[in-house]
Amino acid sequence: MKKTLLAAAFGAALATAPAFGPAYGASHSDPVKIGFVTTLTTPAAVIGNDMKAGFDLAIEHIGGEMGGRKVEVIYEDDGFKPETGKQAADKLVTQDKVDFVTGYIWSNVLLASAKSVLDTETFLISANAGPSQLAGKACDKNFFSVSWQNDQTPMALGEALNADGVKSVYIMAPNYAAGKDMVAGVERTFKGEIKGKDLTKWGADAQLDFSAELAKAKASGAEAIWVFYPGKAGGAFISQYTQAGLADSMKLYSVFTVDAISLPRLKEAGLTGVLGSMATQHWSPDMDNEANKKFVGDFLAKNGTYPSYYAQQAYDAVMLIKSAVDAVGGDLTDKDAVRAALEKADFNSTRGNFKFGSNHFPIQNFYLREAVTDAEGRWTTKIKSTVYTDHQDTYAADCKM
């Protein structure tokens, strides 16, 4: 009994002791350690590999150095599973003792991992996933996003539907955290009628046969179809949508579906019905600024394809981290100073102007993009118009840091 009480008292003392991040006591001879969690196996690895390519290019562009220190990147595979992603996060902060954790495609994986990282006072920077929880009531002083809050991109698309005079849509998305956020976003802004809605199975055994849902969409009489299907599911959906002949009767509007990952495969399959389809996004390969020209040009030269927004955000994540490490001269022991430097976001983003809101999510523009063919015959996207200027997510008001 005595041993139990002593152990409990010792545990309580530890619980009230200040938490020091992995950089505590580190010297300038030690590398800046960054853990990168993404999907590197399963069919969803097509996204993870694109993220990694963007991240690797950024590390190459900065010469593998920040604040006078070398950079060490530790890649971890989440296996497209929240529990595996959490295990990866636990390893990075307890065993590898990284200074920053970044990556994360999937909102459910990020939500499963966030506490493990943030409880150790390690900085967590999402390079894609933007769940509403972390933008609002569950926001944290050490969490930052270089992408968006999930609702924002579909909110912009809802506005684009209104501007195009669309009166009715049919909605399809996967049934997980981000899918629900995406649907909530378009429903918040679209003023017409939603003729039907399907949330399909997601995960390692995600549904890839959409024939039943497409038949329902066709029978609904909706003018347009709105979808969110990232990665392999996006290609499967577009293929079936085109083969079902819906391109002639239901205009396609999408988020995170028609992109630099899916378009080359759709071109190979000859699915020309996707050209002319509309999507919204905060970035496009044709954005005219020096940082983006260098990023896109070098990515094309190195990989033979246009970068996706997944690669773009991973690239920007490196530049954000570097800006903070440079600002503190490589000394990561003062967490407050590092956080203040991250909040300034003093780097040249590939999207142009970049600033954080009060909840550490970007305040940024959103654009309507069209799927087109470039001068060399490659399928890509180009900006048609600006939907939102300096847009802040709707959950920021709930964030109390």
- Sequential DSSP letters for 179-243: HHHHHHHHHHH--SEEEEEEEE--STT-----HHHHHHHHHHT-SEEEEE--THHHHHHHHHHHH
Q: What is the pTM of this model?
A: 0.88
Residues 6+ apart with CB under 8 A from 230: 47, 105, 256, 257
Strands (E), 39-151: 65-66, 69-77, 100-103, 123-126, 143-145
CB contact at 8 A, 296 and 307: yes
Q: Where are the domains of the chain?
A: 30-149+288-363, 152-286+366-397
Q: Beta strands 32-38 and 362-373: pairing type?
A: unpaired
pLDDT of residue 27: 57
pLDDT of residue 346: 97
| Residue linked to tokens 């669309």 | 166
SS3 label, residue 47: helix
Distance CA 130, CA 148 (A): 6
| Residue linked to tokens 């029978």 | 219
pLDDT of residue 9: 35
Per-residue pLDDT of the chain (401 residues; tens, 9 = 90+): 333 333 333 333 333 334 444 444 455 679 999 999 999 999 889 999 999 999 999 999 999 999 999 999 999 999 999 999 999 999 999 999 999 999 999 999 999 999 999 999 999 999 999 999 999 999 999 999 999 999 999 999 999 999 999 999 999 999 998 899 999 999 999 999 999 999 999 987 889 999 999 999 999 999 999 999 988 888 899 889 988 889 888 999 999 899 999 999 889 988 888 899 999 999 999 999 999 999 999 999 999 999 999 999 999 999 999 999 999 999 999 999 999 999 999 999 999 989 999 999 999 999 999 999 999 999 999 999 999 999 999 999 999 98
Q: Do domains 30-149+288-363 and 152-286+366-397 have the same CATH topology?
A: yes
CATH superfamily entry for domain 30-149+288-363 = Response regulator (3.40.50.2300)
Distance CA 175, CA 199 (A): 5
pLDDT of residue 26: 53
Distance CA 227, CA 170 (A): 8
CB contact at 8 A, 244 and 218: yes
Distance CA 36, CA 315 (A): 12
Distance CA 12, CA 186 (A): 46
pLDDT of residue 273: 82
Q: Looking at the structure, give the CATH architecture of the domain made up of residues 152-286+366-397.
A: 3-Layer(aba) Sandwich (3.40)
pLDDT of residue 39: 97
